Amino acid sequence: MDVELAIKKRKSIRRFENEEVSDILVEEVIKAAKQAPSSHNLQNWHFVVVKDKKTKEKFMEQNVFVQKEICDAPVIIVCCADKEAYSKHSIREHETNMQLVNLSLASAFLVLRATELELGTCFVAWCNKEKIKKLLGIPRSKVIPFVIVMGHPAENPEPRSRKSLGKILHKEKW
């Protein structure tokens, strides 16, 4: 699949088949994420992959996700940004939240590769990040802007609308 088709095909999938996603496929999407560009090539991102039913039950018990059905996803990828990487290198970019930019780029690569592998994904920010950190032992200093749920799609929703090019494209001047 070429990039143009993957971009066209990707859409948020929130319902999944009750079928395991192999570790090989999970590694494939993380490998795509790690190829993303990052400021100073710091690669200051981490992905905690949750497949264990018991962990998902804990998420459910503790109301980690506002949308309960999220816990039914075969894979929950907790996306973590590491702003400490900047302070260690005396780089002042933590002030501009560049770690979130880097993680977002890597995550975009991840979901496009997942699309190519016929996996469905959805970004989910509507969750209790502090509870996730505690349950998974993620250091407090890491920032979790979102998780990505992933699995074999069990729905095929209509593509969501997009603004026309004219509304966002400014040629030469605003």
Ligand X SMILES: Cc1cc2nc3c(=O)[nH]c(=O)nc-3n(C[C@H](O)[C@H](O)[C@H](O)COP(=O)(O)O)c2cc1C
The per-residue DSSP string of 10-55 comes to --B---B-S-PPPHHHHHHHHHHHHTS--GGG---EEEEEE--HHH
Subset of residues 112 to 171 that bind ligand X, contact rule: CB under 6 A: 122-126, 146, 160
Q: Provide the mask over 46-75, with x wherever binding to ligand X is found by CB under 6 A and - wherever it is not.
A: ---------------------x--------
Asked if 28 touches ligand X (CB under 6 A), the answer is no
Phi, psi (5° rounding) for residue 150?
A: -150, 145
Q: Which stretch binds ligand X (CB under 6 A): 8-16, 37-45, 94-102, 136-144?
A: 8-16
Cβ 133 to ligand X shortest distance, Å? 17
Asked if 78 touches ligand X (CB under 6 A), the answer is no
Q: What are the C-alpha distances in Å from 162 to residues 25, 53, 86, 158, 166? A: 29, 36, 35, 12, 11
Whose CB is nearest to ligand X?
A: 126
Site residues, ligand X (CB under 6 A): 11-12, 14, 67, 122-126, 146, 160
